[in-house]
Structure 1
Amino acid sequence: MATDINGKELKHNDLAIYGNKLNEMTFPKFSSIEMNLFWAVASQISNQDRRGGIYDYQEITFTFKELATLTGLKSRSANRLAKYLKEIMDKLDKAALISETDVKGQPYKFYKFNIFPGFEADAETKKLTVQINPKALPYLTKLTENFTVYDLEKFFGLKSKYSKTLYRIISQYPKFGWVTQDREKLCELLGVPKSYRSSKHFNLFTSRILDPAVEELKPIFKGLKYELITEKKGKGRPTITAIKFTFQRFKPPYTSLTQKKELKEKDADAKNSNDSSKIFKPKIKSDRKKKSNNKNNKSQNQPNESNGLNLLQDFMK
């Protein structure tokens, strides 16, 4: 179980939840396991207690055992694991969030920062402590809209690093059923080798990277397929400008951070109801169920305007 700087155990998250802006991050030369480590750390920051701990000190600590369980790291000695973590942390220095505002008539703005600026791996205590950039907290905590959510177990289960990135991109658009990515932007996000990006060798990108990634994701996203968007200029051959992915619309694990608590409460109520039904007569049980259904029907006819996620919540109904 991850802990804060005071040693307080943090709630374990089975879902990755973060601001959509983080989907624009690139992970140059990252392996599948290294991606697992980054998102394992990021996911455990979300939805924690906002009083003290992780919010005051911006640190989170994992045991080596937990990291191995979360990320699929192979069994190795504490010394070897600590040295391997150092190699990964050196790569994480290059994984930065970049934002640029270049709009005509407006002042130019640019910023770049690392999500996790500091690490400490100790083979003696068998723990990894990660520092969290305060500027990153708005993208990892207190999220009510414009966020991505997905199942960590499914993410960790994917073998290809390209599949993992595409999984995150698609998970951002559950209610649309499609997403179009600029060709160069997609290649950058996926970390495609430069030799595959040219029009002359683009078939290598589709056959060796895109096709296998889509095939691996088909069991998760029903009906997933892609098409190449082309544009013809002059008398030359059409140029591939974008890739459009289509899939069946799906329900994300939940639509807001508060809904997770509501779902747990409903599960608890249902369990209690099933346990208590043993001491009631069938007729009484049926009446209670009918009243509950009527109440649910009334609530479904009333739009929820409490958290600014009306469109997504309407879709979930």
Structure 2
Amino acid sequence: MNDVVKYHNHFNSISLKNFNSIELNLLMAICSQIRDKGIDEITLNFSELKNMVKYKHRGNIRFVKDLEQIYKKLITLSIRIETKEVIDNFVLFTRYRIIKEDQTFTIKVNEDFKYLLNNLVKKFTQFELEEFIHLKSNYSKEIYRRLKQFKSTGFWKIKIEDFKELLNIPEKYRMSDIDKYVLKISRSELENHFKNFEIIKIKKGRKIEYIEFKFTPEKKYKENIADIENKLIVQNKVQKRKISEKIIPARKTRIIEVVPKQEKEKTLREKIEEKISENDEMIVKLEALYAGLKDKVQFKKITEKYPKKIEKIKNVNMQLKAIYDTDENELTQEIIELAEELLANKV
């Protein structure tokens, strides 16, 4: 099963209160099916959905109840998303129709918030549905999908009060209860999915103020032009060798393959430091070019853009340096997301 769940990061700020494990599985399966379908109504059949979430109960009576419960909980949830500009409260699905006789149900995404599940090119969370379903604990599932938002940085830090609210942890729970019923169970499940997984409690005085999750960032495999050229060169050499082997009798030789060294994944601070250095070099080059060519008429159209470009790079570096100098304990989700945007920015 290769079903992928993908949604806007804003969806991770929603606390899915009182959802049990089966309901969470079904909701994520539904999200995976309506992704990039716009606001058109999508019809799913019971057997397909049951198979996706490995539903154990054979009959449809229980299944229909589970589907109804999801929508009832979503309606009473009053989904709330707050940005710098606005606060929105809404219902994600505007149509949720179960047709028992046909063993299908129809669903439609709220037009105003279709961005949560459609045309996602940045600021999105993505994970395999199968991995999510295999997690047994509700808390593990909810932590898992938030960690997937930060898979490129390997770092998620959240205030303990926000953590309790987001995961709907009972108010009566003390830290010892959170350790026993939330963190301990989640650690045992999630360490199988995140390399070098750690849970760190950060104190302010005697009180725990933050929970920090750390793991080795997932590598981003991007094939650039150099990679393609290298592959073509290797293929060409292999082809030539095959031709020569047909012409020249084979000699008894011993070929030793050297395994390339794997580069250690850079931390967020290392990436920022590297980006600042690259930008500084670019600024020096552009300033030199501008000084040398600005008075030459034939280069006027090119050089007149340099001052704005230099200013833009300096502004990016100023923000990166501010993040780099920020104490690790003060890093928030918003700051980490900003850092990722700045690092990906091609000025």
Asked if TM exceeds 0.5, the reply is yes
Q: 1:44 is matched with which residue?
A: 33
Please give the residue correspondences for 1:76-115 in structure 2 after superposition, counting only pairs within 5 Å.
76-101=58-83, 109-115=86-92
Choose which of 88, 112, 122 in structure 1 pairs with 2:99.
122
Q: Does 1:68 align with 2:36?
A: no
The residue type paired with residue 155 of structure 1 is F
1:69 shift after superposition: 1.0
**What is the percentage of aligned positions where both structures have the same residue?**
31
Which aligned segments of 4 or more residues in structure 1 are displaced greater than 6 angstroms?
none
Provide the residue aligned with 1:16 in structure 2.
5
Deviations 1:267-301 (A, max 9, x none): xxxxxx9xxx9xx8863699xxxxxxxxxxxxxxx
Q: What is the aligned partner in structure 1 of residue 20 from structure 2?
A: 31
CA distance in structure 1 between the partners assigned to 2:244 and 2:153 by the alignment: 40
Measured on the aligned residues, the alpha-carbon RMSD in Å equals 3.3
Is the Cα–Cα contact under 8 Å of residues 16 and 149 in structure 1 kept in the other structure? Answer: yes
Larger Rg: 1 or 2? 2
Alignment match, 2:214: 246
Alpha-carbon shift at residue 156 of structure 1 (Å): 1.1
Q: Tell me, yes or no, if the aligned pair for 1:13 and 1:43 is still in contact at 8 Å.
A: no
Whole-Å separation in 2 of the counterparts to 1:285 and 1:184 = 70
The TM-score with structure 2 as length reference comes to 0.62
Contact 1:58 1:133 in 2 (8 A): no
Cα drift, residue 44 of structure 1? 1.7
Letter in 1 for 2:217: R
Q: Find the partner of 1:141 among 113, 118, 127.
A: 118
Task: Provide TM-score, normalisation by structure 1.
Answer: 0.68
- Paired amino acid for 2:208: I
Change (3 A) 1:112 1:139: same
Using the TM superposition, give the Cα deviation of residue 205 of structure 1 relative to its aligned residue in structure 2, in angstroms: 0.8
Match of 1:157 among 128, 134, 146: 134
* Distance across 1 between alignment mates of 2:22 and 2:129: 13
Where structure 2 has 5 or more consecutive residues not aligned to the other structure, the ranges are 229-234, 246-277, 279-339
Retained in 2: the 8 A contact 1:145–1:309? Answer: no
Deviation at 1:114, TM superposition (A): 1.5
Matches within 5 A, 1:259-278: none
- Matches of 2:63 and 2:116, distance apart in 1: 29
Distance in 2 (CA, whole Å) between partners of 1:58 and 1:183 is 39
Aligned residues, how many? Answer: 244
Instruction: Note the C-alpha offset of 1:81.
Output: 2.3
The structure with the greater share of residues assigned to helix is 2
Change in 2 beyond 3 A, CA 1:281/1:145: same
State how far apart, in whole Å, the 1-side matches of 2:241 and 2:56 are.
53
Q: Aligned equivalents of 1:59 and 1:227: distance in 2? A: 44
